[in-house]
Every structure is written in structure tokens, then in C-alpha cells.
Amino acid sequence: MATVSVRYIVRDVDTAIAFYCGELGFKEVMHPARSFAMLERGDLRPVLSAPGGGAGGGQAMPDGTLPVPGGWNRFVLEDPSGNPIELFEPTRAEARLGGS
């Protein structure tokens, strides 16, 4: 199975890292800014973004609306069951599948 990245908008990235790593067994892959981190467990890669955290998933919409926890995507498709899927292209090499 290929690695699946899922973006979550979280109120506090450090608190989310502590929860996912401490309670659910994820490991931190990268945490280059207070407002962004990537975790991993097996084939699942949660991508954590804080609202208003600059470029990326946490950035405000053109009208100034900030994303909120509980479901927010920039570009969304739906799978046959109605689950939202966010498509994005990583700009950092370590975020790409296969690391290159």
C-alpha cells in the first residue's frame, strides 16, 4: 500500500504532536515551524497545520477566512463513499513519497 497523507487543521500543533505520538504511536517526521508538522505511522502520514500559520494548509482564504479544526480543505474531491480527499504537491523533498 502507498503512503497516504491526510491534512488536519489543529488548534495547537505541539499539543497535537504530543497526542498523536504519545497516545497513538505516530512518529514525528518533520516539524519545521510552530504551525506545521508531519507525522507517520505505517502507511498513514498526518499533516498538521495550525490556522493562520502562513503558507500551506493553515493559510487564510483570499477573503481572510481562517481554516478551523473539524474539516477544511483547499481543493477537495470525494471518493465513492463521500469521504473528502485533499490533493497537494509537497514542496519539501522529505514530504514527498519516497523522500525524493
Q: What is the pLDDT at residue 87?
A: 65
Architecture of domain 4-91: 2-Layer Sandwich (3.30)
β 27-33/36-40 pair status: antiparallel
Q: Specify the residue for cell string 502507511.
A: 43
pLDDT digits (tens, 9 = 90+) for 17-51: 999 999 999 999 999 999 999 999 998 888 999 98
What's the distance, CA 97 to chain centroid? 14
What count of Cα atoms within 13 Å lies in the side-chain half-sphere of residue 73? 13
Q: How confident is the model at residue 73 (pLDDT cuts 50, 70, 90)?
A: very low
In this structure, how many other beta carbons lie within 10 angstroms of the beta carbon of residue 45? Answer: 18
